[in-house]
Amino acid sequence: MSLYQHFRKEEQGFIDRVLGWKDQTEQTYAPKLTDFLDPRQVFIVQSIIGTTGEVKVSFEGGDSAERKRALIYPDYLHPSTDDFDLQLLEITYPSKFFTVEHKHVLGSLMGLGIKREKFGDIIFAGEKIYLVAAKEFASFFTMNLNQIGKHSVLVKEVDWKDYTPSNEKWKERFVTLSSLRLDVVLAGALTLSRQKAQLLIQAGKIKVNFKEEEQPSFECAQGDMISVRGFGRLRIGEIEGKSKKDKWRLTIFTMGG
């Protein structure tokens, strides 16, 4: 059976890259550090490389990170956090005078001409905003990210030990669903009617792996990150397969709302 059959057609290009990284590590016997990967990409890398054999993989992106860098390495290596070249940046702004949302920070970062893969999570913690960046781009952000929207901001490098993560945690739920269609998954995870879930999708309020998805029939898979405007986020964990009654058994993690 072809490896590609286990994944979506549009993921074939990424799968080829993962196979290339694995081959590179096997041939050079040296580690390969990737850019930041989204949760679905992390799942794909883990599935292809696994934890056995001469090539292994570890992931790091900070505490409870959604986006992580992968380190693909020969089995003689015992990687540490330093091997992932992560730099934590603190963004300060006059919070008494204006409100900053995730989309504003992301828009300003993308406006600098940097690819999304070069930085990880954007974290809100009280009146501070933290950005996890690839170390090689940290100085670029400190020098060039001078404003968010029309408001001036200050960006500086900080130590991980000075970072206080958010108290918000993922809530784990086990669900049984009739299918893995997006509308069915949303209805089951958010305790909505299927019709309400379909309306949210068709209204453009749903993103799957950070891309807008307007097809209720979209087939969800393990590792997918789904954001629902007004409801928060959910992530699909392990899919255990089907029950005797032909229902899908899976774990779903939810946050926010």
Do residues 140 and 189 share a domain? no
Taking only the tens place, the pLDDT of each residue in 101-127 is 888 899 999 999 989 999 999 988 877
What CATH number corresponds to the domain at position 140? 3.30.70.330
Residue 72 has φ and ψ, to the nearest 5°, of: -100, 125
- Tell me the whole-structure pTM to 2 decimals: 0.84
pLDDT for residue 167: 64
Contact, 89 vs 158, CB < 8 A?
yes
pLDDT for residue 113: 92
The last residue of a domain, from among 136, 162, 188: 162
pLDDT for residue 51: 66
pLDDT for residue 80: 94
CA dihedral for 36, 40, 44, 49, sign (positive or negative):
positive
Do residues 107 and 123 share a domain? yes
Partners of 60 in the β-ladder: 69
Residues of the chain with pLDDT under 70: 1, 51-52, 165-168, 257
* Residue 3 placed within a domain: no
Range of the domain at 202: 171-255
Q: How many domains does the chain have?
A: 3
* Residue 2 placed within a domain: no
CA dihedral for 96, 102, 104, 108, sign (positive or negative):
positive
